[in-house]
Chain A
């Protein structure tokens, strides 16, 4: 009886984390740079991975990460906490990559990129993910961008098309092409769509 009387309905860890992050976001939105640094530390790994997959170049990806966080700082007062901060940040990162692409006025066409393989090798040697990351890095730009956004980060085709400035049908076709190329490269059987 005593034990059951002491049971308190604490929120679960995820709820507590979300609440803590909401507080941090609010502080950062009011101009607290330490709070924003906390957000940076918490999210930089995911944002960097996204930029790395979109660009295929480590240095360029890191420039995009920096651009993304600076843009996020500027836009933070307008962030609506009803949506996921992570998703919001990913969209900003995608825009940062695309802005860099336009600004550079050069092709992003990358063959199997040494940066990605080197980066992953440092983390875990002989992982099967290494082959897949390299294969993604070797995809043509259009196919890679759609695969990363839709296949890996949960964008809808409508969202991806809007972000990339392409038609929804093109997004679907590029995803199909990306999956076929990856499957062929990795010796997998592509599932029927």
Chain B
């Protein structure tokens, strides 16, 4: 289509109408949204929530989500660490966390296996990367402890239970992401 051979009148509208209506974001924005809306009381039961705990948990979820996306971008999905035993995919990890309680056999066994591989790979990463991972994991664990304490006072709180579920999932995803790096030492050369 050129200026010398123009298209019919009104074709701009046709082109505009044919444009795609949707574009998925490059990352999942929900954890960040959840963190923000969880810090605000609204709806039934919300006034019972101990908000400082919920806020801390929300921050941890946001940190973990951003971190997982960052590190995940450094390893191809096919780079599965076969030598250390089966490592679940993210969807598998989410299935386990989503449908099994933390005391569930599946969850504990998979988590233990994953944690071993994670620890091995962590030691091979660049010190600065390792420090960041450990710092973020500490944040997640501290938030987890805060939520557990808050739940002891308000065990039926839907917000706290939802946050707890998110924390488990983020911790699991973080383990899985590090464990799935096939050659952690090679990550040291990347920027």
A and B pair up = yes
Interface residues in chain A, defined as those with a beta carbon under 8 Å from any beta carbon in chain B: 30-34, 36-37, 40-41, 44-46, 48-49, 52, 58, 61-62, 65-66, 69-70, 73-74, 77, 119-120, 123, 128-129, 132-133, 151-152, 179, 182-183, 186-192
Instruction: Contacts A62-B27, A186-B1 given; indicate if A30 touches B33 (C-beta within 8 A).
Output: no
| Cα A190 to Cα B38 with chains together (Å) | 49
Within 8 Å by CB of A31, from B7, B30, B36, B42, lies B42
Q: Which residues of A contact B15 (CB under 8 A)?
A: 128-129, 132, 186, 188
Instruction: Give the segment of B43-51, B86-94, B101-109, B175-183 that binds chain A.
Output: B43-51
Give 28 CB contacts A-B under 8 Å: A30-B43, A31-B45, A31-B46, A33-B34, A33-B158, A40-B29, A44-B29, A45-B24, A48-B25, A49-B23, A61-B25, A65-B29, A66-B32, A73-B42, A74-B37, A74-B40, A77-B42, A128-B15, A129-B19, A132-B15, A151-B16, A182-B12, A188-B6, A188-B15, A189-B8, A189-B9, A190-B12, A192-B9
Interface residues in chain B, defined as those with a beta carbon under 8 Å from any beta carbon in chain A: 1-3, 6-13, 15-16, 18-27, 29-30, 32-34, 36-38, 40, 42-46, 158-159, 162
How many A-B residue pairs have C-beta atoms within 8 angstroms? Tell me.
113
For the complex of A and B, 10 pairs with smallest distance between CB atoms? A31-B43, A45-B22, A49-B23, A191-B10, A189-B6, A73-B37, A191-B9, A187-B3, A70-B36, A69-B33
Is chain B's interface secondary structure helix, strand, loop, or mixed overall?
A: loop
